[in-house]
Amino acid sequence: MSQQGPERQPATALVSDYLRGVQRSVIARVRNTNRTEGDQRQDPAEQGADPNDAKSRALQQTVEDTAARPAPPSDQSEQQQQPSWVRRITGLSAHLASGIGWRQAGLPQGLHISPEVQAALKAGQPVVALESTIISHGLPYPQNMEMAKEVESIIRQQGATPATIAVMQGIPCIGLNQNQLFELASRSAQVRKTSRRDLPVVMAGGHTGATTVSATMVLAALAGIHVFATGGIGGVHRGGENSMDISADLTELGRTPVAVVCAGVKSILDIPRTLEYLETQGVCVASYCTNEFPAFWSVRSGCKSPARVDSPQEAAQLIQTSKQLGLENGLLIGVPVPGEQAAAGAKVEDAMQAALKEASRKNVAGPDVTPFVLRRVRELTGGASLAANLALIKNNAKVGAQIATALAKLQ
């Protein structure tokens, strides 16, 4: 009988062992450096502590600790001040170590799911996904950071767990800590806007990317999250019948089983054609407590909604029924912006038309159009649209959390 050879370790375990070896070498180097410099310093015993051990433990903690840290008090986070090689080893070590745990737990390999989100999913508690493009490209700093923290707080107040999603240094993360939120909010110029098509490029290149609606849906579905709250979705662009410029958000809704709670379609788009396209994709569209499909800043779009729900329980029942039928597409729940906060429809519409013409003159195209137009609309309306934008985002988070809570009770 032939003798069996030693069992081969998986590649991730081998690389993880290698990184731990690098980590030990670095710690040893720090200890040796400290010993060399120790001759010129005061005896550590006189200070009541051994600085060599303290520094070694600090470096060990830097490399191994993947827990969230407090938000940075100044314009630079503590993480940004670390040497790049430390940040890279930290990210790789955490990613590989967590990957082994995910396979054992039956979770998708390659996702970094925060302990808070993972515990909620395991316990069957409500979780609400949040996109990150709205942080990096939707609002200016520091309002975007304040909004991100407040939205997560609103979701927690409703008894659900927030899961902001982004790709951090090539690793898709479900649930972000304060340092990661700060990086997205304060360094938007270095953060890539990441749709479904961009996920392989951003991940393979080790880049940081803020996920759009489509990419957020993909990662949320992989993590087992069924409800996703955002501001508004993309759609068929004006003139799309000629340019074929149609947002990936719509096709994602047609193939990914996640319910998107939003303020409808952004009013810079062709709303009637967007609803027609969603019908073609087989997407269930319902408006919340209204018969008219909302138009982002405005409660009115002039388009009748295909369906209506009047409570979180009714919306949750739609999601549950879709799951029971085995439908592999998403749902769209349109929640109108609170009336007292809505910007005057005519004023915003005029500003939007002016911004679109300006974008055309300056040859702004593709994914750059929406952030350009939104910024110009804010400027032209004196901030009225920004106030409405913040109000609808917070309201959508609240309603989304209520729907997720109702859905959890149906499981």
CB under 8 Å to 218, separation ≥6 — which residues?
A: 196, 199, 252, 256
Q: Using DSSP, how many helices (H) and how many strands (E) does the chain show?
A: 17, 11
* Catalytic hit among 152, 193, 266, 292: 266
* Residue matched to tokens 């302990």: 115
CB under 8 Å to 163, separation ≥6 — which residues?
A: 114, 117, 127, 128, 129, 130, 174, 175, 220, 223, 225
User: Angle 384-410/345-361 helices, nearest 10 degrees?
Assistant: 110
* Catalytic hit among 131, 152, 183, 292: 131
SS3 content of the chain, % helix, strand, coil (to 5): 55, 15, 30
Three-state SS for 357?
A: helix
User: What's the half-sphere exposure (Cβ side, CA atoms, 13 Å) at 253?
Assistant: 29
User: 369, exposed or middle or buried, with CB in 10 Å at 0-12, 13-18, 19+?
Assistant: middle
Contact 235, 271 (CB under 8 A): yes
User: What's the half-sphere exposure (Cβ side, CA atoms, 13 Å) at 213?
Assistant: 29
Three-state SS for 392?
A: helix
* 131 catalytically annotated: yes
Question: In this structure, what token pair is assigned to residue 89?
Answer: 């080893």
Q: Residue 259, Cβ neighbours under 10 Å: how many?
A: 29
With residue 374 as reference, give the H or E element that holds it: helix 369-380
Q: Give the distance, in angstroms, between the CA of residue 338 and the centroid of all CA atoms in the same chain.
A: 24
Beta-bridged to residue 163, according to DSSP, are 129
Q: What are the residue numbers of the active site?
A: 131, 266
